[in-house]
Amino acid sequence: MFRFRSVVGRAIALHLVAIAVTSICMPLALYLMLKYAAQDLHQNALREQAGELAGLIDRGADGALHVHLTARLADLYSPDYGRYSYAVGDASGRVLLSSFPDGRAITHALPPISQEISFSGRYDGTNIFGISVPTEIAGQKVWIEVSQDLAHRDVLIDDIVADFFFRVGWITAPILLLLLVIDVVIIRRALRPVVAASRLAEQIGPLHTELRLPESGMPREVQPLVRAVNQALDRLEEGFRGQREFTADAAHELRTPLAILRTQIDMIDDGKLAQSLRNDVENMSRLVNQLLEMAELETFVIGGSETADLVAVAAEVAAFLAPIALAQDKRVAMTGARKPVLVPGNPEMLGRAVRNLVENALVHTPARTTVEIEVDPAGAIVVSDRGPGVPAAEREQIFRRFWRRDRRRQGSSGLGLSIVARIAERHAAKISVDNRPGGGAVFILAFPMVLTAPAAVSKPELAPVS
Amino acid sequence: MRLLLIEDNERFAALLRQGLTGAGFSVDVLTTAQEAKTALEMGRWDVIVLDRGLPDGDGIEVLTEMRGHGDNTPVLILTAHGNLKDRVNGLQSGADDYLVKPFALEELVARLQALLRRPGNLLGLALRLGNLTLDTVARQVFVADRPVPFSAREIAVLEHLLRRSGRVVAKTLLENSLYGPAQEVGSNAVEVHVHRLRRHLVQTGASVQVHTVRGVGYMIGEGT
């Protein structure tokens, strides 16, 4: 079955059907009612005539009935005028008096003597309507027939009935159509708060969990839905807040003891022991950081208008990791684009992705080699090292959580590249790995698009909800 | 050098006090934001180390109140949160530097010395690294306490590097400070100066090294 998607559409369609039915049925009913009312009027007029006639009939000295027509009635019933006829008869069907020169009855059927009847039809070439009224004149039971010629009914009411369809009946359709237009306007107005709420709802997301749909002004039928949606949003916001608070608390609870440990190690005199403990704490810290980054990513969403300059992101990472690389007798270099390469995204998150890529490269590249960070103006960051490279069979697995080629290897948690993959996914970017000509691995973080001009910073207009 | 440490974890505070005392600071420790606010209205320190997670509020509040009073003592913030939002937040509130837990004591000392070395601060007059000393007022370089002639441009580059020793100084920053942002600079002008500086340092026997981070900038460190 066809289903309507819009309330207004449904109202219009059903209304049109109703209009079609009503604009046919209503004039028809009115016409029939009018017709019966007109018939009634005529019948009354004829009955009165019959009564009048009865009053003018008396029994003569010859014992027969005689009628003494007034001048007006004589004209009316004269065969010259021809529009009205009468006949009077008795119970046996004998015609006693008649306006016809041949003294016949109006119809050939015998009218009953005990009840009033009306009749219509074609008799002697004329379309007539008449009634037969039983009465008693001078002690004799008689019937009096009176009829009129329908072809010449010179009464106003008949014209009205006849012209009804042309003059009155057609008005129904336009009136109903006007009603339809008014209804559509009414429904539209009633739904306006719903439209406004929908626009507000479009802005609700992980970045704006505080927004709620307004209940006031909402049609009562929609209010339960609005309330239920708002309650659902409350629960979601609670969940998000819980997750964020957990991340913040966990950061504090985990990092402070690590800081204490680290500081304590720094005060150990035994250089060799201190260094080995320091490495352990550093690995532990990195793992904690990565776990926290993972947790943070769960609730992270890129703002719609955020842009990141890949050159700035790469330069910051290079500057941050260069001293660490130098301490290991390795190098970090930046090549490629010099002018800003803008992509839609969050610079902080992209910085983490690139940092994890470069840290991974620094783990694998041998001493006295360089990890290169290249920014492609077409919207990509390419990180290359001189390490052993990644076998083709492992190129999918390395982006999984806690995946490590060598489980005995210290200092790598297997989280770094999965963080990169997650951040790439959030930015609709593609992360891939290949082997480098001359040895080593090449990680490519490619973005779907580059922004040509710095996007105007526009914040969505938010209606505060009290 | 008087240092005020505001840190609620007593064990950590004690360790830091021990470490910083060893590095030549005279350390006072406070554990709550309220104590810190009161103390800062009364006394003065040369540098302040402020933990953000205090039991009675965010350390940032202490900082804002301090800066509100016109107190410009350098402040280094310690935090458990390393994300950019928190960092920007801290720096906008008037912090001079920011260190995420856990950190090396060495790093904290280096950062504090860098803060004190800023122009106008106590250590601002002489910058030292290895056997190299730069007198920023007399514009004179000493290697192993021996005065050595360096050109004005070389000294300018050296000063920038020494003020951020152990960290990368962006090449664009050097270009701008040597020539001003408006001026057209030859693409390798800075490289030429750094190259001369490096040669000069080797010739004079300085125990420092200028590293090139290709595409990013330069970094000075101890070593030959």
- The CATH number covering residue A273 comes to 1.10.287.130
Same domain, A342 and A415: yes
CATH architecture of B2-117: 3-Layer(aba) Sandwich (3.40)
Contacts of B11 in chain A (CB under 8 A): 260
Contacts of B14 in chain A (CB under 8 A): none
Last residue of a domain, one of A147, A170, A193: A170
Give the minimum alpha-carbon distance from A295 to chain B in angstroms, rounded to a whole number: 13
Cα separation, A252 vs A175, whole angstroms: 74
Cα separation, B114 vs A166, whole angstroms: 101
Partner A contacted by B14 (CB < 8 A):
no
Cα separation, B110 vs A323, whole angstroms: 14
Partner A contacted by B11 (CB < 8 A):
yes
Task: Give the nearest chain B residue to A282 (CA atoms).
Answer: B102
Instruction: Determine whether the interchain pair B16/A289 forms a contact, defined as Cβ–Cβ distance below 8 Å.
Output: no
A82 belongs to a structural domain: yes
Say which of A255, A322, A333 has its CB closest to residue B101: A255
pLDDT above 70: percentage of residues in chain A:
92
Amino acid A412: pLDDT: 61
Last residue of a domain, one of A301, A330, A355: A301
Instruction: Determine whether the interchain pair A260/B106 forms a contact, defined as Cβ–Cβ distance below 8 Å.
Output: no
How many independent structural domains does chain A possess? 3
Say which of A248, A323, A370 has its CB closest to residue B166: A323
SS3 assignment for A202-220: CCCCCCCCCCCCCCCCCCC
A459 belongs to a structural domain: no
Contacts of A289 in chain B (CB under 8 A): 82
Same domain, A340 and A374: yes
Amino acid B210: pLDDT: 94
A193 belongs to a structural domain: no
Instruction: Determine whether the interchain pair A255/B80 forms a contact, defined as Cβ–Cβ distance below 8 Å.
Output: yes
Give the minimum alpha-carbon distance from A333 to chain B in angstroms, rounded to a whole number: 4
Fold of the domain built from segment(s) B125-222 = Arc Repressor Mutant, subunit A (1.10.10)
Amino acid A463: pLDDT: 36
- The CATH number covering residue A40 comes to 3.30.450
Instruction: Determine whether the interchain pair A322/B81 forms a contact, defined as Cβ–Cβ distance below 8 Å.
Output: no
Same domain, A243 and A361: no
A197 belongs to a structural domain: no
Amino acid B88: pLDDT: 66
Same domain, A137 and A268: no
- Please report how many Cα atoms fall inside a 13 Å half-sphere around the Cα of residue A157, on the Cβ side: 13
Cα separation, B202 vs B224, whole angstroms: 8
Amino acid A152: pLDDT: 67
Give me the total of CB pairs closer than 8 Å, taking one residue from chain A and one from chain B.
102
Say which of A256, A266, A348 has its CB closest to residue B19: A266
Contacts of B49 in chain A (CB under 8 A): none
Give the minimum alpha-carbon distance from A377 to chain B in angstroms, rounded to a whole number: 15
Instruction: Determine whether the interchain pair A323/B168 forms a contact, defined as Cβ–Cβ distance below 8 Å.
Output: yes
Structural tokens at position A40: 């009634």
Instruction: Determine whether the interchain pair A260/B215 forms a contact, defined as Cβ–Cβ distance below 8 Å.
Output: no
Contacts of B103 in chain A (CB under 8 A): 259, 262
Instruction: Determine whether the interchain pair A251/B19 forms a contact, defined as Cβ–Cβ distance below 8 Å.
Output: no
Give the minimum alpha-carbon distance from B100 to chain A in angstroms, rounded to a whole number: 9
Amino acid B75: pLDDT: 93
Q: What is the pLDDT of residues B161-204, one digit of tens each?
A: 998 888 899 988 888 888 776 666 666 888 999 999 999 999 99
A331 belongs to a structural domain: yes
Same domain, A268 and A315: no
Mean pLDDT of chain B, nearest integer: 86
Contacts of B100 in chain A (CB under 8 A): 255
Structure-token match 């210290």, residue found: A410
Positions of CATH 3.40.50.2300 in chain B: 2-117
* Cα–Cα separations (whole angstroms), residue A34 to A149, A157, A160: 20, 9, 9
Cα separation, B17 vs B29, whole angstroms: 8
A185 belongs to a structural domain: no
- The residue segments making up the domain with residue A294 are 205-301
Partner A contacted by B88 (CB < 8 A):
no
Specify the long-range contacts of residues A456-461, CB closer than 8 Å, at least 24 apart.
Answer: A456/A305, A457/A305, A458/A305, A459/A305, A460/A203, A460/A208, A460/A304
Q: What is the pLDDT of residues A218-257, one digit of tens each?
A: 888 888 888 998 999 889 888 888 877 777 777 777 888 8
Q: What is the pLDDT of residues B109-164, one digit of tens each?
A: 988 988 887 766 655 578 888 899 998 888 899 999 899 999 988 999 999 999 88
Same domain, A48 and A146: yes
Same domain, A269 and A254: yes
Same domain, A19 and A135: yes
This model's pTM is above 0.80? no
Same domain, A31 and A117: yes
Say which of A267, A334, A370 has its CB closest to residue B18: A267
Instruction: Determine whether the interchain pair A315/B170 forms a contact, defined as Cβ–Cβ distance below 8 Å.
Output: yes
Same domain, A295 and A308: no
Positions of CATH 1.10.10.10 in chain B: 125-222
| Of the listed ranges A267-281, B8-22, B94-108, B173-187, the one predicted with least confidence | B173-187
Instruction: Determine whether the interchain pair B100/A261 forms a contact, defined as Cβ–Cβ distance below 8 Å.
Output: no
Amino acid A406: pLDDT: 62
Amino acid B120: pLDDT: 60
Using 50 as the pLDDT threshold, list the residues of chain A that sit under it: 455-466
Mutation target for B interface from A252, A258, A260, A297: give the one with most B CBs within 10 A: A260
Contacts of B167 in chain A (CB under 8 A): 319, 323
Last residue of a domain, one of A279, A301, A323: A301
Cα separation, B60 vs B56, whole angstroms: 12
Mutation target for A interface from B5, B15, B87, B175: give the one with most A CBs within 10 A: B15
A149 belongs to a structural domain: yes
Contacts of A279 in chain B (CB under 8 A): none
A183 belongs to a structural domain: no
Cα separation, A47 vs A53, whole angstroms: 10
Same domain, A316 and A403: yes
Residues 167-206 of B with CB under 8 A from A: 167-168, 170
Same domain, A391 and A402: yes
- The CATH number covering residue A426 comes to 3.30.565.10
Angle (CA) A191 A193 A194, round 5°: 65
The residue among B171, B182, B27, B37 whose CA lies nearest residue B109 is B27
